[in-house]
Amino acid sequence: MVSRYHSYLNSAVKILSSYSGDEPFAIFLKLYFSQNKKYGSRDRKQIAHLCYCYFRTAPHYQEESVLSCSGIEEEILRGLFLCSAERNEILQMLKPEWNEKVNFSVEEKLKLLSGENSFNGIFPWKNELSNGMDHEKFCKSFLVQPDLFLRLRPGKKEIVCRKLDAAGISYRTITDTCLALNNSEKIDAVVELDREAVIQDYNSQQTGDYFQLVRNPGTTPLEAWDCCAGSGGKSIMLSDLIPGVHLAVSDKRENILFNLRKRFERAGIKKYKSFVADLIKNGNFRKGNFDLILADVPCTGSGAWSRTPEQLHFFDEKKIDEYASLQKKIVSNVIPHLKHESFFIYITCSVFRKENEEVAEFIKEHFNLKLIKMELLNGYEMKADSMFIAVFRKSLEVE
């Protein structure tokens, strides 16, 4: 029995030692298991869990030097201990003295392991955080897997809930349009995604409340540009919240726009324009075109690292300044395409001040825009992502 758990641990060490962080770990892991057929589903689940526990907590202990295999084993077990709220069989077999204390508080566990209860090692960039971010609570959020959230499309709540009930899938109703589920649920086999519901984080859904601040220009349809559209989740939400909106969507990657068009087809969105645009360069767009520009800009993604903790593990602090510079270039090139008396919405899934408040201040200082509302949406209380949003209005008057 013990040999099985040593085998899990050894496999996790082998996988972690060969992973460089150049691609999402989920993709790397899927490819690894496809090339190594000897692992059953239970084996894959246990090994993957050990790897993710390592990523969630290893920064707290990792030294500058490269860890030995025995060192990585220890880091994995420490991570498993910190991430476990109940006793588990791996700890019982390999670290029974820790398994007896697995229900201790995180602070007590940290003190037991390192002699102090500081969270600085889990997330060492405390001084870079946005205002209102509770460092300790944020660090604790890395120790748990976030929930999967569904945004229910208009008129689809009853049918989605009925399908989930019939499939025996548990869920929590967060709002009239938002459900929370266990992240491991295979929803696409039960619900028609994009047509009936959209997989969208809770705080990403919350940004829709800020779309309501946009003044509808009378009987004329709202002209909106989702300039960093990505997979199109916020564009679908905008279409649901403001029926009749005239959408333009862009991204610098044609393959991403191809996937977006497929999603729009499933979502029943037909009236829109899509185009490739590198927003770092000032594109050939007509100025004064849009009533609303939505800029969900590229960022460190630090507000979503509890979903992809390998990014926390491999993060280089220099990236904060690099992304902040990128964001300022993007907003500088898209804001001139606003009509007067129109709106600009700036969004990141970052927790870093330089990407959030400092870019908002840059927008205020360099453009004739009035800040209507700005907020950091903390996700650690909801097992959700953290996001930042700022809503501006362009006026004929100098504010």
Query: Which of 69, 102, 117 delimits the end of a domain?
Result: 117
Pair (246, 317) in one structural domain: yes
How many whole angstroms separate alpha carbon 219 and alpha carbon 229?
26
Average pLDDT over residues 201-211: 95
Question: In the prediction, which pLDDT does 63 show?
Answer: 47
Q: Where are the alpha helices (DSSP H) in the chain?
A: 2-18, 25-35, 41-57, 69-83, 89-94, 96-99, 106-114, 135-141, 157-166, 202-206, 208-211, 233-241, 254-267, 309-314, 318-334, 357-366
Pair (341, 372) in one structural domain: yes
Find the domain containing 288 and state its range.
Answer: 203-394
Q: Evaluate whether residue 142 is within a structural domain.
A: no
Selection from 232, 230, 225, 265 nearest residue 248 by Cα? 225
Pair (175, 247) in one structural domain: no
How many structural domains does the chain have?
3
Q: Evaluate whether residue 232 is within a structural domain.
A: yes
How many whole angstroms separate alpha carbon 245 and alpha carbon 232?
15
Pair (273, 375) in one structural domain: yes
Question: In the prediction, which pLDDT does 60 show?
Answer: 46
Question: In the prediction, which pLDDT does 64 show?
Answer: 39
pLDDT at 365 over 80: yes
How many whole angstroms separate alpha carbon 321 and alpha carbon 344?
23
Question: In the prediction, which pLDDT does 58 show?
Answer: 67
Dihedral sign computed on CA atoms, order 102, 105, 110, 112 = negative
Antiparallel, parallel or unpaired: β 338-348 and 387-394: antiparallel
Tens digit of each residue's pLDDT (9 = 90 or more) over 120-162: 778 999 999 999 999 999 999 999 999 999 999 999 999 999 9
Q: Evaluate whether residue 122 is within a structural domain.
A: no
Query: Which of 101, 117, 133 delimits the end of a domain?
Result: 117
Question: In the prediction, which pLDDT does 5 show?
Answer: 87
Q: Evaluate whether residue 255 is within a structural domain.
A: yes
Pair (232, 334) in one structural domain: yes
- Residue 215 confidence class, pLDDT cut points 50, 70, 90: low
Q: Evaluate whether residue 127 is within a structural domain.
A: no
DSSP, residue by residue, 85-130: SS--HHHHHH-HHHHTTTTS-HHHHHHHHHSS---TTTS--GGGBP
For residue 156, the surrounding DSSP H or E stretch is none
Average pLDDT over residues 206-228: 84
Pair (194, 231) in one structural domain: no
Question: In the prediction, which pLDDT does 340 show?
Answer: 86
Antiparallel, parallel or unpaired: β 246-251 and 272-276: parallel
pLDDT at 30 over 80: yes
Sequence-distant (≥ 6) Cβ neighbours of residue 45 within 8 angstroms: none
Over the chain, what is the mean pLDDT? Answer: 91
Q: How many CA atoms lie within 13 A of 315 on its CB side?
A: 28
Pair (330, 370) in one structural domain: yes
Dihedral sign computed on CA atoms, order 42, 46, 52, 55 = negative
pLDDT at 345 over 90: yes
Helix, strand, coil tally for the chain in percent (to 5): 45, 15, 40
Pair (234, 343) in one structural domain: yes
Question: In the prediction, which pLDDT does 281 show?
Answer: 80
CB atoms within 10 A of CB 190: 17
- Contact in structure between 154 and 160 (CB atoms under 8 Å): no
Q: Which pTM was predicted?
A: 0.93
- Contact in structure between 122 and 142 (CB atoms under 8 Å): yes
Q: Evaluate whether residue 195 is within a structural domain.
A: yes
Query: Which of 182, 199, 216 delimits the end of a domain?
Result: 199
Pair (102, 186) in one structural domain: no
Question: In the prediction, which pLDDT does 68 show?
Answer: 57
Report helix, strand or coil for 386: coil
Q: At what angle do helices 25-35 and 41-57 cross, to 10 degrees?
A: 150
Pair (70, 98) in one structural domain: yes
Question: In the prediction, which pLDDT does 398 show?
Answer: 46
- Contact in structure between 202 and 177 (CB atoms under 8 Å): no
Pair (302, 186) in one structural domain: no
> Residue 123 is encoded by which pair of tokens?
């997330």
- Residue 191 confidence class, pLDDT cut points 50, 70, 90: very high
Percent of the chain with pLDDT over 90: 78
Q: Evaluate whether residue 163 is within a structural domain.
A: yes
- Contact in structure between 206 and 280 (CB atoms under 8 Å): no
Tens digit of each residue's pLDDT (9 = 90 or more) over 45-60: 999 999 999 999 866 4
- Contact in structure between 112 and 103 (CB atoms under 8 Å): no
Report helix, strand or coil for 144: coil
Nearest 10 degrees: Cα torsion 297, 300, 302, 303 = 0
- CATH code where residue 292 lies: 3.40.50.150
- CATH code where residue 154 lies: 3.30.70
pLDDT at 113 over 70: yes
Q: Evaluate whether residue 131 is within a structural domain.
A: no
Question: In the prediction, which pLDDT does 239 show?
Answer: 95
Going across the sheet that includes 148-152, the strands are 172-175, 178-181, 148-152, 197-199
How many whole angstroms separate alpha carbon 391 and alpha carbon 386?
17
Tens digit of each residue's pLDDT (9 = 90 or more) over 227-283: 999 999 999 999 999 998 999 999 999 999 999 999 999 999 999 999 999 998 866
Pair (38, 111) in one structural domain: yes
Tens digit of each residue's pLDDT (9 = 90 or more) over 5-20: 889 999 999 999 999 9
For residue 68, the surrounding DSSP H or E stretch is none
